[in-house]
């Protein structure tokens, strides 16, 4: 059972309230919070549902497990003691001010081990749905337009060339899922070692080559200043008219206005989007009226598998910090030199000398 709140002398955790529905049930189901109970850690849901964590939400906590709320510079204003850890339920951290967390000696972790397979599976699901025109064919049946089915001939995946923008852990998992389809995989990722790509059987190329050569381009990279609008009007113009574009990463990586224009002009066959530049998209967004586009509300990978995986990974990070160990998936590595972190963990952290879970 969740504790009533922070208790002096014990490690205390707050869980963001966006996990709960209006009836107080966790919408994600089992996210492994029982492991905190088993370890004797006090935890509670934060008192309010908020888009931005503030001092009134988290003051006095040792760790915060959160999904939707942003962590900003304002989060630390008025805190008497910053949390040791912000454990994000998911892999994206574009809503987290890493510099602010580092300045205040707070670790930030993500859950790539929990999201890896669910997101890879979601990408494959989206790819097949786009190639087979699944939503359009569903509408034909529901609207009594059976005779129009010849107009929606799909494309087979076997033997095609798939291009990945990003070859991180999740994309690498997708490469394995694609093997039975005997596809050729090319990828753009300036940070992926050539040896890793060779071991996967993936040919590394530049971003323009991915766009020009692939039958299906799948965006799987992290949103940064470098990748914002990586897929712009110029790169979309390089695609084959028979090719499709998928985005299962972050909306702003694709110039949505340019994509809409390319789809309208027939320069791209179709698209599959789990993410958008602005979420949720407006009801007047042209994408919502396009038959050759498959859409999902940034939740295609949401399954019980992801719930347990993300939750378990975040909880493991909390348990590590509670026992004086550095968790595995720290994204603001510069914080390891912060003297306040070393003192509160009780172990030296500069240059990462504390024990790290593997």
Report the sign of the C-alpha dihedral through residues 279, 280, 284, 290, in that order.
Answer: positive
- Residue 207's φ and ψ, nearest 5 degrees, are -60, -40
Q: Which two tokens stand for residue 6?
A: 């922070």
CA–CA separation, 175 and 184 (whole Å): 10
Q: Is 298 annotated in the active site? A: yes
Cβ(280)–Cβ(297) below 8 Å: yes
Q: Is 279 annotated in the active site? A: yes
Catalytic residue among 182, 279, 343, 355: 279
Other Cβ atoms less than 10 A from the Cβ of 10: the count is 12
The SS3 of residue 287 is: helix
Catalytic residue among 132, 298, 328, 333: 298
Q: Taking Cα atoms as reference points, which of 75, 26, 35, 50 lies closest to residue 314?
A: 35
Catalytic residue among 116, 250, 338, 344: 250
What does 62-129 look like in DSSP terms, one character per residue?
Answer: SEEEESSSBB-GGGGTT-SS--SEEEESSS--TTB-HHHHHHTT-EEE--HHHHHHHHHHHHHHHHHH
Other Cβ atoms less than 10 A from the Cβ of 125: the count is 19
CA–CA separation, 280 and 278 (whole Å): 6
DSSP 80: S
* Chain center to CA of 259: 21
Q: Taking Cα atoms as reference points, which of 319, 321, 358 lies closest to residue 32?
A: 319
Please list the active-site residues. Answer: 250, 279, 298
């Amino acid at each position: 059972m969740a504790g009533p709140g922070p208790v002096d002398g014990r490690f205390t955790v707050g869980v963001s309230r966006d996990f709960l529905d209006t009836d107080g049930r966790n919408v994600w189901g089992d996210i492994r919070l029982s492991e905190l109970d088993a370890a004797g850690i006090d935890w509670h849901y934060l008192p309010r549902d908020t888009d931005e964590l503030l001092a009134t939400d988290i003051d006095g906590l040792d760790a915060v497990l959160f999904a939707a709320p942003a962590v900003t510079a304002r989060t630390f204003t008025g805190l008497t003691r910053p949390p040791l850890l912000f454990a994000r339920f998911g892999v994206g951290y574009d809503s987290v001010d890493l510099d602010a967390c580092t300045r205040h000696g707070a670790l930030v972790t993500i859950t790539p081990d929990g999201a890896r397979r669910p997101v890879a599976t979601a990408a494959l699901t989206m790819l097949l749905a786009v190639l087979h025109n699944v939503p359009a064919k569903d509408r034909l049946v529901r609207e009594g337009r059976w005779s129009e089915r010849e107009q929606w001939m799909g494309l087979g995946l076997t033997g095609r060339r798939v291009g990945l923008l990003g070859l991180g852990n999740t994309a690498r998992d997708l490469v394995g899922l694609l093997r039975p389809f005997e596809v050729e995989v090319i990828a753009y990722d300036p940070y992926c070692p050539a040896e890793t790509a060779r071991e996967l059987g993936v040919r590394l190329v530049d971003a323009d080559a991915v766009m020009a050569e692939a039958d299906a381009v799948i965006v799987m990279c992290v949103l940064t200043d470098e990748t914002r609008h990586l897929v712009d009007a110029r790169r979309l113009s390089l695609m084959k008219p028979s090719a499709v574009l998928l985005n299962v990463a972050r909306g702003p990586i694709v110039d949505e206005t340019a994509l809409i224009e390319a789809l309208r002009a027939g320069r791209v066959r179709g698209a599959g989007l789990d993410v958008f530049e602005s979420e949720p998209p407006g009801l007047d967004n042209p994408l919502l009226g396009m038959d050759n586009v498959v859409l999902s509300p940034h939740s295609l990978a949401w399954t019980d598998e992801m719930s347990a995986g993300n939750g378990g990974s975040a909880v493991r990070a909390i348990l590590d910090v509670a026992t004086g160990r550095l968790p595995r998936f720290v994204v603001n590595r510069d914080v390891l030199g912060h003297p306040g972190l070393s003192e509160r963990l009780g172990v030296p952290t500069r240059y990462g000398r504390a024990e790290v879970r593997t």
